[in-house]
A and B are shown apart, each in its own frame.
Chain A
Amino acid sequence: MLKRRSCKRNADWDWRPGVHKSTVGIVVLSVAVALTATGCSGKEAGGKPPIKIGIIGPMSGPLAVLGISQQNSIQVEIDRLNAAGGIDGAQLQLVTRDSGLDPGKAVQAATELAGDQQIKLVVGPSLTAFYNAAKGVFEQNKKINCQPGVASGSFAELGYGFRSQDATELDVAKALGYLKSKGAKNVGLIYEGDDTGKSVDAILAKEAAGAGLTYLGFQSTRPDDQSHSAYMDAFKDAEAIFYSSNVGGAKTLAAAGAAGYKGILIGAGSGAQNISFIEGAGDAARGIVFPAPNYQYPTRDREQWRPGYRKHIEAVEQKYGVNTGPKTGATSPKGTALAADCVFAYAEAVKAAGGTDPDKVAAAMEKLDLAADTTPSGNAIKPGQAHEFYGEQDIRLYQWDKDDKGWFTRELPN
């Protein structure tokens, strides 16, 4: 089943809930995948064996949207490169491994893909805990690894690992700048009591004063909280509140709405771009602000989208369609452009290095300087010694709002 997913081409992943629809959908999908599995194995062109790219992520379970979106975007980027003749004279081929919600599976998949000489690049595994468990394997095996789903921790000391996501530090710094510009005097944090929550807490404790803000402290939440009004209550007089990038963030927003909170609600990460926030919080999400790397999708005016981004997203839309929140009608593409950046940057690095030798490619990756207009994500890619694809200038501020045509975001001026 897992192997078959790797060559799935047209499975139209309909994530919308609905008992009948999804159950039937899963059955149809499984059958379709099983049927197409036999006919899509070794597509080898031009004499050279294919370059395989692995992705490890949650393809099943509650976080499947994350893994499937990454897989979709990578597939679209691979298709684009293959149509242009591949890289280094070889065609690209995607290999998918499902980590589900089991870090053990992620490590197992990482070990398998890292040991496979045909695999040249591994994307994922997503989620910080999963990644931390697996990253040593990539270093030992000199496997280029790209991370579109890990916000905390540092990549600077890694030889072969790169991050194609906004680091928490960048997001929080951007958000603090915004609060300063709004003249807020103080700010509190409501976040899960996990590693990310603790790291945001540490950053705020250190940086808030620099932005002229009093840090009111950290209300750490529990996964079994069904409501955040108790935490909200602690900050009812705060001028601004940082909310979580995870499902807890939506609970905070809902509690803020119920309490009639009037201050600024700002994301401690880019999670609020996810339409599940809008689905969970409903109208309470109007006016919330979040920092994120380029995410122009809900801004509506496609003419303004960066060319590479628009091309990528429209290809994703064409191939996989759009997620629509069943309750609110908010939409998102069924792809994660940041994951496509991994493949895009890797292809550029191979070109620069003149081959797929991991040491040369890693060195070439560090030296990349790709303009925002060309990349699938619409962000400039300049990894440098820090191994961070994106820098401060790539983080933008967006604000959710709703009108008679539905939910949209506007980009706030810097």
Chain B
Amino acid sequence: MTLQAWIDGVFTGSIYALVALSLAIVYQPTRVMNFAQGEALILGAVVGYQVISLGKLGWVVAILATLALATLMGVLSERMIMLPVRLSGSRFAWIVATLAAALIFQSIFTLGYRDVDALRPAPMAEGGFTLAGEQVSWQIVLTVAIALAVMAGYDLLLRRSTYGRAIRAASHNPGTAVLMGIPVQRIIVLSFVVATVLSALAGLLAAPVLFIGPAAGLIFTIKGFTAAVIGGVGSPRGALAGGLIVGVLDSVVRTEINATAGNLVVFGLLALILLVYPSGLFGKPMEAH
């Protein structure tokens, strides 16, 4: 078992964890698992590529542009997904609506960058250091640190702040939350915006290290989804744990055995965890809705 595989796994795992957290943020008040979540990550990579690689405008502009565009994308996603979900009586409307949103965003990205295999800007933090003979780039350290900080911050917000309690209340019982004067609809829009911004930042941070193609959104959605389900949907700690499990397990198994086994083990574990802990490692049993 090599250290490099662990470093890799922790890095990709923290990216998956951010996607898993984003999925949970939207899921809580809406009960919608947003299959378009990964597209927000691509948005971050696209902005990094466009602003840093092509525009040579630097990271500050890239971060600002990501925040602005992700906010817009979040508001747009809420309309594209929640409107059909509300108008349609079908229990499965969210599947169609989120997949449609995913395909629409994916088409926009692939049209814009159809010959770009990898949206890879230069790293925000150049260089790296050596840890027990292994190269670790600062970008990896920075990304993991930011992911952990975001996760801890969101956990704190959810548990300690008035808004966090309101979000949890809206998640449990939107009808009653409205009676408390909680603007549930605004919380839903805000959730889409926060989730999109977090995923886009993950994409911006990861793009210099990973190979993120314009059509890779669904892959990240699936990895994030797996992480969220393993960890327990709705809990930031679960997202973190799930993300790290998916990332490290895939990376280590891939190194120790082979690539196909990596996916096999991860999805096998997913199946096993769902059998033993139906609501994930950190999740509370989901009530019917």
State yes or no: do A and B come from one complex. Answer: yes
Residue numbers of A with Cβ under 8 A of B are 15-19, 22-23, 26, 61-62, 64-65, 193, 219-222, 224-227, 229-234, 236, 247, 250-251, 254, 258-260, 276, 279-280, 282, 326-327
Q: Are A326 and B254 in touch, CB under 8 angstroms?
A: no
Residue from B8, B113, B260, B262 within 8 A of A227 (CB atoms):
B8
Q: How far is the CA of A43 from the CA of B116 in the complex (A)?
A: 37
- Number of residue pairs across A and B with beta carbons under 8 Å? 117
Chain B residue nearest to A248 (CB atoms) is: B211
Residue B209 lies at the interface, judged by CB distance under 8 Å to chain A: yes
Residue from A230, A233, A280 within 8 A of B120 (CB atoms):
A280
B231-269, CB under 8 A of A: which get 1 and which 0? Answer: 000000000000000000001001100111011000000
CB contacts (< 8 Å) of A230 on chain B: these are: 4-5, 8, 251, 254-255
CB contacts (< 8 Å) of A259 on chain B: these are: 4, 135
Q: Are B211 and A64 in touch, CB under 8 angstroms?
A: no
Residue B287 lies at the interface, judged by CB distance under 8 Å to chain A: no
Min Cβ gap B111→A in Å is 6
Q: How far is the CA of A236 from the CA of B3 in the complex (A)?
A: 13
Min Cβ gap A66→B in Å is 10
Q: How far is the CA of A230 from the CA of B134 in the complex (A)?
A: 12
Interchain residue pairs with CB less than 8 A apart (18): A18-B50, A18-B54, A22-B111, A22-B112, A64-B115, A65-B115, A219-B259, A221-B259, A226-B206, A230-B255, A231-B259, A233-B8, A236-B4, A247-B213, A258-B135, A259-B4, A279-B118, A326-B53
Chain B residue nearest to A328 (CB atoms) is: B53
Q: Are A282 and B120 in touch, CB under 8 angstroms?
A: yes
Q: How far is the CA of A399 from the CA of B49 in the complex (A)?
A: 26
Q: How far is the CA of A374 from the CA of B168 in the complex (A)?
A: 75
Q: Are B4 and A276 in touch, CB under 8 angstroms?
A: no
Q: Are B260 and A220 in touch, CB under 8 angstroms?
A: yes
Q: Are A233 and B4 in touch, CB under 8 angstroms?
A: yes
Q: Are A229 and B115 in touch, CB under 8 angstroms?
A: no
CB contacts (< 8 Å) of A18 on chain B: these are: 50, 54, 112
Min Cβ gap B214→A in Å is 9
Q: Are A233 and B49 in touch, CB under 8 angstroms?
A: no
Chain A residue nearest to B222 (CB atoms) is: A224
- Besides the known contacts A230-B4, A326-B54, A326-B116, 14 further A-B residue pairs in the complex with CB atoms under 8 A apart: A15-B114, A17-B113, A17-B115, A64-B114, A222-B260, A226-B211, A226-B216, A226-B219, A230-B255, A233-B8, A247-B118, A247-B211, A258-B135, A280-B117
Residue numbers of B with Cβ under 8 A of A are 2, 4-5, 8, 12, 49-50, 53-54, 108, 110-118, 120, 122, 135, 137, 206, 209-213, 215-216, 219, 251, 254-255, 258-260, 262-263
CB contacts (< 8 Å) of B114 on chain A: these are: 15, 17, 22, 61-62, 64
Q: Are A251 and B2 in touch, CB under 8 angstroms?
A: no
Q: How far is the CA of A269 from the CA of B173 in the complex (A)?
A: 59
Q: Are A224 and B219 in touch, CB under 8 angstroms?
A: yes
Q: How far is the CA of A205 from the CA of B198 in the complex (A)?
A: 46
Among A61, A62, A193, residue most surrounded by chain B Cβ atoms (within 10 Å) = A62
- 7 pairs of A and B residues whose beta carbons are closest in the complex: A226-B210, A19-B112, A233-B4, A280-B118, A17-B113, A327-B53, A247-B117
Known: A17-B116, A220-B259. A227 touches B211 (CB 8 A): yes
Q: Are A220 and B116 in touch, CB under 8 angstroms?
A: no
Q: Are B211 and A280 in touch, CB under 8 angstroms?
A: yes
CB contacts (< 8 Å) of A327 on chain B: these are: 49, 53-54, 120
